[in-house]
């Protein structure tokens, strides 16, 4: 099982990069930079590429709605070049809150757009003249017919540069069954959130199996990249509270009632009543109470916080559930403790 690290996307980026430099020294395999509504992920990844030498780098994730497919492909090829072939493109749909509320673009057709984006990116990386006639993207833009929007002057072009690789790995962040099925079919990696090993098959198993049945063998095995908060020790129970604000935000505040992917996931995990209570509090503006309502049991189920024996048992559960990369989020403000937590986890890996 590989290990990775999630970069914080809110403040202190230079300090966070120094953390990655130290974690690279102790064998962490990949570092991911998220993109929400802070600094963009791409500029930070370029900076990170210049400061590291071995660790794989990835976007974790960039939303597909705010960049054209060709620009996503160009950006990935550029980052792969400056990192000497160490980049993987992580994409996702984000949600209507960010897409419509911050970017002002419609949140529509996530499945169809994701499939077409992946196809176009791979066409660009092969340096083919980009020609695509999909439901959501037409390249070049047609100047005739029912979808006419172009001037007729656009001609198929191919990428001028020669990419380091013509197949840059793509990871898709997906939660819903249809999204997970698509990911298992077309992507090199899958990035779920709040992964509960013992209930992962109930939540996603059928979707994964359906997608894998249609998967091109040339893609290789699906890299299941799961995130987990990390604190190893006999006296780290207080770190459970550090995780609760994020869980409360996602379960309670990332979407209206009936349209919150994370609330739906908590419900599939068997925490439906708890999720409803957290959502009621959060949407009523009672954020502190919503955080307090997150049970320790839920935090422990989706994290690696506890004594070495407990963490070792959890690692075995992650492996049994099919996780192949652990994206660690050390629950600490101290770089030395962060490195220590990761080193202790490496010693416990099965």
The confidence score (pLDDT) of residue 101 equals: 92
Q: Mean pLDDT throughout 289-296?
A: 98
Q: Mean pLDDT throughout 19-38?
A: 94
Rounded distance between C-alpha atoms, residue 119 and residue 99, angstroms: 22
- Average confidence score pLDDT of the chain: 95
The confidence score (pLDDT) of residue 11 equals: 62
Q: Are 329 and 338 in contact, with CB atoms under 8 Å apart?
A: no
- Give the chain's length: 350
The confidence score (pLDDT) of residue 295 equals: 97
Q: Sign of the C-alpha dihedral, residues 234, 236, 240, 243?
A: negative
Give 195-198 contacts, CB < 8 A, sequence gap 24+.
Answer: 195/226, 195/227, 195/228, 195/302, 195/318, 195/321, 195/323, 196/269, 196/301, 196/302, 197/314, 197/317, 197/318, 197/320, 197/321, 197/323, 198/301, 198/317, 198/321
Confidence of residue 9 (pLDDT cuts 50, 70, 90): low
Crossing angle for the helix pair 41-51 and 69-82, nearest 10 degrees? 10
User: Is the N-terminal amide bond of 59 cis, ω within 30° of 0?
Assistant: no
Does residue 314 carry a pLDDT above 80? yes
Question: In angstroms, how far is the first alpha carbon of the chain from the final one?
Answer: 8
The confidence score (pLDDT) of residue 254 equals: 87
**Higher per-residue pLDDT: 222 or 260:** 222
Tokens representing residue 34 in the block: 């998220």
The confidence score (pLDDT) of residue 38 equals: 85
Does residue 146 carry a pLDDT above 90? no
At 57-89, the pLDDT tens digits run 999 999 999 999 999 999 999 999 999 999 999
The confidence score (pLDDT) of residue 147 equals: 83
Does residue 95 carry a pLDDT above 90? no
At 110-135, the pLDDT tens digits run 999 999 999 999 999 999 999 999 99
Strands 30-33 and 56-59: parallel
Rounded distance between C-alpha atoms, residue 111 and residue 102, angstroms: 21
Tokens representing residue 48 in the block: 């990170």
Tokens representing residue 27 in the block: 């064998």
* Distances in whole angstroms, Cα of residue 314 to Cα of each of 221, 235, 345: 23, 17, 11
The confidence score (pLDDT) of residue 255 equals: 80
Does residue 21 carry a pLDDT above 90? yes
Rounded distance between C-alpha atoms, residue 233 and residue 343, angstroms: 12
**Quick one: DSSP state of residue 251?**
I
Does residue 157 carry a pLDDT above 80? yes
Rounded distance between C-alpha atoms, residue 209 and residue 334, angstroms: 41
Q: Structure pTM?
A: 0.95
Does residue 260 carry a pLDDT above 70? yes
Q: Are 343 and 232 in contact, with CB atoms under 8 Å apart?
A: no
Q: Element (H or E) spanning 329, and its range? A: strand 325-330
Rounded distance between C-alpha atoms, residue 276 and residue 175, angstroms: 18
Does residue 10 carry a pLDDT above 70? no
**Quick one: DSSP state of residue 39?**
S
The share of the chain scoring above pLDDT 90, in percent, equals 88
The confidence score (pLDDT) of residue 324 equals: 98
The confidence score (pLDDT) of residue 256 equals: 83
């Amino acid at each position: 099982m590989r290990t990775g690290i999630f970069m914080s996307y809110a403040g202190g980026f230079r300090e966070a990069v120094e953390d990655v430099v130290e974690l690279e020294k102790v064998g962490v395999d990949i570092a991911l930079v998220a993109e929400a509504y802070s600094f963009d992920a791409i500029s930070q990844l370029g900076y990170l590429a210049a400061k590291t030498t071995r660790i794989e780098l990835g976007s974790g994730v960039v939303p597909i709605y705010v960049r054209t497919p060709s620009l996503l492909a160009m950006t990935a090829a550029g980052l792969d070049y400056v990192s000497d072939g160490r980049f993987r493109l992580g994409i996702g749909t984000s949600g209507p809150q960010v897409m419509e509320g911050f970017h002002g673009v419609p949140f529509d057709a996530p499945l169809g757009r994701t499939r077409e984006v992946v196809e176009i990116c791979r066409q660009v990386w092969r340096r083919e003249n980009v020609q695509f006639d999909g439901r959501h993207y037409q390249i070049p833009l047609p100047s005739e017919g029912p979808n006419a929007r172009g001037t007729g002057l656009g001609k198929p072009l191919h990428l001028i540069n020669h990419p380091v690789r013509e197949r840059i790995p793509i990871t898709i962040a997906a939660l819903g069954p249809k999204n997970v099925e698509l990911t298992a079919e077309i992507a090199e990696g899958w990035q779920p959130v709040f992964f509960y090993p013992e209930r992962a098959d109930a939540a996603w198993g059928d979707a994964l199996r359906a997608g894998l049945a249609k998967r091109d063998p040339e893609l290789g095995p699906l890299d299941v990249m799961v995130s987990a908060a990390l604190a190893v020790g006999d006296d780290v129970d207080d770190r459970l509270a550090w995780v609760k604000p994020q869980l409360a935000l996602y379960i309670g505040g990332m979407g209206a009632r009936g349209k919150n992917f994370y609330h739906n996931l908590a419900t599939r995990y068997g925490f439906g009543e708890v999720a409803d209570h957290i959502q009621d509090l959060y949407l009523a503006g009672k954020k502190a109470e919503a955080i307090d309502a997150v049970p320790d049991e839920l935090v422990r189920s989706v994290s690696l916080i506890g004594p070495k024996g407990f963490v070792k048992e959890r690692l075995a559960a992650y492996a049994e559930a099919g996780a192949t990369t652990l994206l660690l989020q050390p629950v600490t403000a101290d770089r030395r403790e962060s490195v220590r937590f990761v080193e202790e986890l490496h010693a416990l890996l099965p």
